[in-house]
Amino acid sequence: MKIPHLFLAAAIAAVSCVRASALDESEMKVTDLRCEYQVNPLGIDVIKPRLSWKLESGIRGQYQKAYRILVSSSREILHKDVGDLWDTGTIKSVETNQIIYNGAPLESGMQAFWKVAVRDKFNIESRWSEPAMWSMGLLQPSDWTAQWIGYDAVPDMPTQMPVRNFKNDPKAKPKFKTYLPAQYLRKDFDLTKEVTRAALYVTAQGHVEMHVNGQRVGDEYFTPGWTDYRKRIYYRSYDVTTMLANGSNAIGAILGDGWFRGNVSILGQNQYGKKLRLLSQLHITYADGTTKVIASDPTWRASFGPIILSDMFEGETYDARKELTGWDKPNYNDESWSEVNAGSDIKPVIEAYPGVPVRPTQELPTLELTEPKPNTYVFDLGQNFSGWARLKVTGNAGDKIHMQFAEMLNADGTVYHDNLRSARAADNYILKGGGEEVFEPHFTFHGFRYVEVTGLSEKPSKETITGIVIHSDAPLTSAFECSNPMLNQLHSNVIWGQLSNYLEVPTDCPQRDERLGWTGDTQVFIRSGCYHQDVAAFFTKWITDLMDTQNKAGTFGQQAPVFHGHGSPAWADAGVICPWTIYQVYGDEKIIRDNYDAMARFIDYCHQQKGLVGQVKGFGDWLAIGSETPKELISAAYFGYTTSLMARMAEELGKADDAAKYTMLFNEIRSNFQQKFVKPDGTIAGNSQTAYCLALYFDLLTEEQRTQAAAHLVERIKAKDYHLSVGFVGVPILLPTLTQIGRSDLAYRLIQNTTYPSWGYSIEQGATTIWERWNSYTKKDGFGDVGMNSFNHYAYGACSEWMFRSMLGIDTDGPGYKKITMKPELGKGVTWAKGHYDSIRGRISSSWKLEGETFQWEVTVPPNTSATVFIPAAEIANVTIDGKPVEEVDGVELLRMEEDRAVVRVVAGAFRISSKLPETIE
């Protein structure tokens, strides 16, 4: 039968559309191109940067057979599918993570544009990815021709502020601190030819805000970041091409005290130096190929301006009457300005910033406005966070608006700020008059929920104050939700605690006179933090800070950057635990290779202290409740644990002799631990929950001792009326240890408690973040000791690791999520849980619910990976996947049956799993 040509054409078109549609749906797509963990980074100094991407596909079992990377010196060349810097050709490899650039040598200031195509399991080549880019920074010290400049003048009346007497001691003598204004620096310059590119490289001793032709450069704050400035200072790079103009131009900078000259912890001001300095180079490329550099040098001009005080603890005072209108625009009259001062008192290494900039990420409206006292207004933003307030106000010239920041309220409705200790945490704005004025600070931040405002000339509205949330802008990578609303609030509290404290360094708290990168807090929380955000770049930077703290003896600081000493078990051990964790989560072999020697020196240091016991002295199980774990035991346990990690890292790096050495040392530590701390009946010294968790989770016991210790741990929990009694050391391993010994039922009970002490207890008291103490505030007794009472202290939020690993069941099986483990634990009080984690290789999702005796579970595994999946079931006949018996499902392999689980391996894709619950699971 013949088909008429018209219908034939239509039929062919229809078939073509179907094929095209099928191709689009099944095609492997290359997404999320990153260089050194960052999207289109500017000014890096890694001469062989690592390139990564993710894959998307609707086909089950899809994987990458090969890839091809093109790297070009311009967008135009890349668009022609030419890699004049690097063309890998077709490389047979499944790897998508951290491919090391191996093309033409990269030089200072060079730009590189790149894209990727891959071949899938059918050997079908994908389309090219969307193009990405990176640029190189100044790679050689000789590339810096700029000079350090600043303004060393002292105003006639510098600001003096009394130190807060937060303990209200009537015998305390008044103390004052002197604060100098922020510095304004500027320079005019002319451009006579067409500009094709302009790159600005800048760093400072202090905080810097750059301006070009009346515009603020970038959206980052607290540049150049926090380091031990005496050793290392980072510079930032910006593309300012579109900000320049033919003819007259101006470049300017505002310098604030920041961490360099401002208050740091209880130590006060001037911890790194007394003179603020700018180092800036603007590299201009003309259309004819010639170049010009505008560098900071003695030709710049300097003045003070409206920022009369800026300090991280004190706050910021801004006098709008002193504004320098047009100071950052060309042809500004700066005859009254002064010459700058040149030179630097320190000579640090200058490197490109490898971390994550601090940025504003969202705004919080005022939820409630009250007037607890006449003309005193309190704005409730509904959430404790880090940031500042945007003030919108009208009034008369000279009116002074005072904003006091606080986390909690007193009984009378005024703000409670005694727990801030000596940190004043207040901003002041002096009006210039003439209409609505808007103020946001430049060089400070606060930890707060409430803003108390005085000095207003008229009654405010809720729009008077808006909360500006800031943190290191690492992408969020996960979601969690379950049937228990309290646990959902707990998850929210953990996230807000992390965002508040992952601010340039992982601080302990964001509000009082501390805000330090405590190493113990960091290492107990880091695995939880990795679930919530992509913190690879953030920790690449901070682990460098941590290594910079290592002293001649070989131990690491109690903080990074360090201020209050070295050593302490569980604190200094961060020097090994944190690099290991980043390696595990992101497959980052470089971080353990680069820091291997420093970690090895630390292990040697521990061994030299008290032999197989390690460091001994330290903080112990900080803030434990009603129990005490011997410091010597904590030291020995952590020494054993970090030594075992060193053995594994040595093996991963191919250092067989070191692996054998550290394995032998671990076995010696383990045997000594058993002899020194474990009694014949399995009782462990201290008889505390933390002691048993350390021994079990760090694998320090024989099999017989493990059985005994597990029973003792359960008994210790029962003795506390099924409540926890751990401190900072015990909190990250309590729930995982219970799951490890087969008692997830107890883990579920502990995490759902709402009576003291528990995570739920603080929520019952109104917490919106994790608190420093389980009872920092109670509705019955009020506030705890002002000496140490933070309402935003993330360490106890380390329970979140268990929520993702054991409630959702998402974990890596080996480094970098190339292989995945999915093993949800079930327990009373939770009938469903759902969420996802965006791993370095793509999204892993888990959504389960209980329907009577049936377990329903939807699982997604990203392309190019596989997962070992543990399904609650007494026998394989009780399991279906996509409505079929397991043996009939493509991409699924039965590995084994355990006592109450079927264990299967699945390829990439989405799966709908259903099983009849075994009788062992209630």
Sign of CA dihedral 755, 761, 763, 765: positive
**How remote is the C-alpha of 772 from its chain's centroid?**
19
Sign of CA dihedral 506, 558, 647, 707: negative
Instruction: Go through 50-64 and write b for each residue having 16 or more CB atoms within 10 A of its CB, e for each that does not.
Output: bbbbbbbbebbbbbb
Alpha helices in 324-478 (DSSP H): none
Cis amide leading into 824 (omega within 30): no
| DSSP classification of residue 640 | H
Q: Residues 75, 131: contact at Cβ < 8 Å? A: yes
For residues 820 and 808, give the distance between their C-alpha atoms in angstroms, rounded to a whole number.
13
DSSP letter for each residue of 773-819: STTSEETTTEE--TTS--S--GGGGGGHHHIIIIII-EEESSGGGSE
In sequence order, the 6+-apart residues with CB closer than 8 A to the CB of 292 are 191, 283, 284, 286
**Which of these is catalytic: 437, 632, 772, 801?**
772
User: What does the longest C-alpha to C-alpha distance in the chain come to?
Assistant: 109
Q: Residues 908, 62: contact at Cβ < 8 Å? A: yes
Q: Residues 695, 637: contact at Cβ < 8 Å? A: yes
For residues 194 and 528, give the distance between their C-alpha atoms in angstroms, rounded to a whole number.
51
| DSSP classification of residue 566 | B
In sequence order, the 6+-apart residues with CB closer than 8 A to the CB of 79 are 131
Active-site annotation holds for 316:
no
**Coil, strand or helix: which one is 2?**
coil
For 538: left if phi > 0, alpha if psi spans -120 to 50, otherwise beta; the answer is alpha
For 295: left if phi > 0, alpha if psi spans -120 to 50, otherwise beta; the answer is beta
Active-site annotation holds for 514:
yes
Given the DSSP bridges, would you call strands 307-311 and 349-352 parallel, antiparallel or unpaired?
unpaired
**Which of these is catalytic: 504, 514, 632, 801?**
514
Amino acid present at 285: T
Count other Cβ atoms within 10 Å, centred on residue 462: 13
Q: Residues 636, 613: contact at Cβ < 8 Å? A: yes
For residues 609 and 602, give the distance between their C-alpha atoms in angstroms, rounded to a whole number.
11
| DSSP classification of residue 322 | G
HSE of 321, CA atoms in CB hemisphere, 13 A: 10
For residue 274 the two structure tokens come to 């007394």
**How remote is the C-alpha of 145 from its chain's centroid?**
34
Q: Residues 183, 255: contact at Cβ < 8 Å? A: yes
Nearest residue to 799 (alpha-carbon basis) of 749, 720, 734: 734
For residues 525 and 541, give the distance between their C-alpha atoms in angstroms, rounded to a whole number.
17
Q: Residues 535, 588: contact at Cβ < 8 Å? A: no
Q: Residues 775, 754: contact at Cβ < 8 Å? A: no
Q: Residues 552, 513: contact at Cβ < 8 Å? A: no
Count other Cβ atoms within 10 Å, centred on residue 80: 11
Q: Which residues are catalytic?
A: 514, 772
